[in-house]
Amino acid sequence: MDYSMLCRVIQGEVIMGIFEKFKKFTRKEPGIKKFCIQTIRFRKLLENARGLLALLADGNEKVLGEYILDRHYVTSLVDSTVERLGMIIYDACVLAPEFGETLYMQYDKHKRRAGELISQNGIRDKKNMADDTNISSDPEYELLSDVLTWLNGESSDPGATVIDFMRQTFVRVLKHLDAGNNSKVELLLANNISKAPGSNMFLLDLWEDAVAPSAKPHSLDDIKCIPLKLLLMDTDGGNLSPLVDDKNKTATWIATSSEYQLSLKILEPDCSFHLEATVSGHERSDFIFIFADASINTENILPQGFLTETTDYGKLAWKLDATSKAIEDSLISIGRNLSQKNV
């Protein structure tokens, strides 16, 4: 075979290879792919929320008065907040498009408030130059204090602070995602996806099943996902609680996972429980996030060290900035608690 023919054969094989992959890609069921994309987008939303909480924590640390900071720091904090909040709203609108107009209207209000805060800076600075020698009234610190009030101060007006707006947005998204729990089970069954043998849980590989759902059910023994392994370590064959009043009911769960990430949720019409976790050994990226609706007693589920926020719809709980060991231990405890019928 001469060189040019060899090239043609190789090119042909390459083209055929791409074509086969393309065929495989287009053969996938759009519903499963959509579900996986939704899972990834929700994690993006969490990542952006984490970024926003980090900005708030940084501002809270700086406002204590120990730091030398300038206007640039405060305006950067405001800009970064607006940018991060914008990402959250974008994610939320992708996940729950029906709230798009409402969310963007509220976001615009926050952008306007941010603009007012920054322009207020100039006024305060002039005032300061005129007659101020008192350290406690440095205009930079006064502005930072105002910015933190906008971020997470006391307000009776729902959504008036950035953090409350973020909280409301989360609740809207979670409600939307939970609304289709029945159809998700139907979707999985329609794609011949069955629960892991011996368990009440569907297992989906976030990347592989999005491209081509596996023909046979994933077994708990085949799990590559570190957080899921930890979660199921002390459970009885991967059977998790129904979390509803009827403890004898067999509830359906779904775990969508990759090597380091786990998205776990219950697929019941009257119950909402979400767990998102990353366990990669990198402390800055590892976390656990949980949402449990108001019917679930989270005291029986959550180990110590979680921050919580209660909303009308349920409780948000998260553990960030903890050691990898603490995250791992928490996941084992949560798994153990979720496998108890009395939770």
Partner 1 sequence: MSKPLEVLLLDDEPIVGRRLKPALDKIGCHVEIFESPIEAVARIDQKEFDIVVTDIRMEEMNGLQVFEHVKKKWPRTKVIIITGYAKMDLAREAMEKGIFDFIAKPFRPDDLRQIIARAAQALGTPIDLSLIKD
Provide the binding-site residues for partner 1, judged by CB under 8 A.
Answer: 62, 66-73, 76, 128-129, 133, 135, 138-141
For 119-131, b where at least 16 C-beta lie within 10 A, e where not — what string? eebeebbeebeee
Those residues whose C-beta lies under 8 Å from the C-beta of residue 34, and which sit 6 or more positions away, are: none
What's the closest the beta carbon of residue 75 comes to partner 1, in angstroms?
11
Q: How far is CA 308 from CA 265, 289, 304, 328, in A?
A: 18, 10, 11, 19
> What is the nearest approach in angstroms of partner 1 to the Cβ of residue 103?
30
Q: Of 17 and 65, which has the nearer Cβ to partner 1?
A: 65
Q: How far is the CB of 58 from partner 1 (least distance, A)?
A: 9
User: For partner 1, which is the closer residue by CB, 146 or 164?
Assistant: 146
- What secondary structure letter does DSSP report for 217? P
Contact 277, 268 (CB under 8 A): no
Q: Which is nearer to partner 1, 61 or 236 (CB)?
A: 61
Dihedrals phi, psi of 194, to nearest 5 degrees: -120, 170
* Token pair for 308: 């919580």
Least distance (Å) between residue 64 CB and partner 1: 10
Closer to partner 1 by Cβ: residue 112 or 284? 284
Q: Which of 254, 71, 53, 70 is nearest to 166 (CA)?
A: 53
Closest approach, Cβ 272 to partner 1, in A, equals 40
Q: At what angle do helices 30-62 and 71-95 cross, to 10 degrees?
A: 160
Q: Which is nearer to partner 1, 64 or 105 (CB)?
A: 64
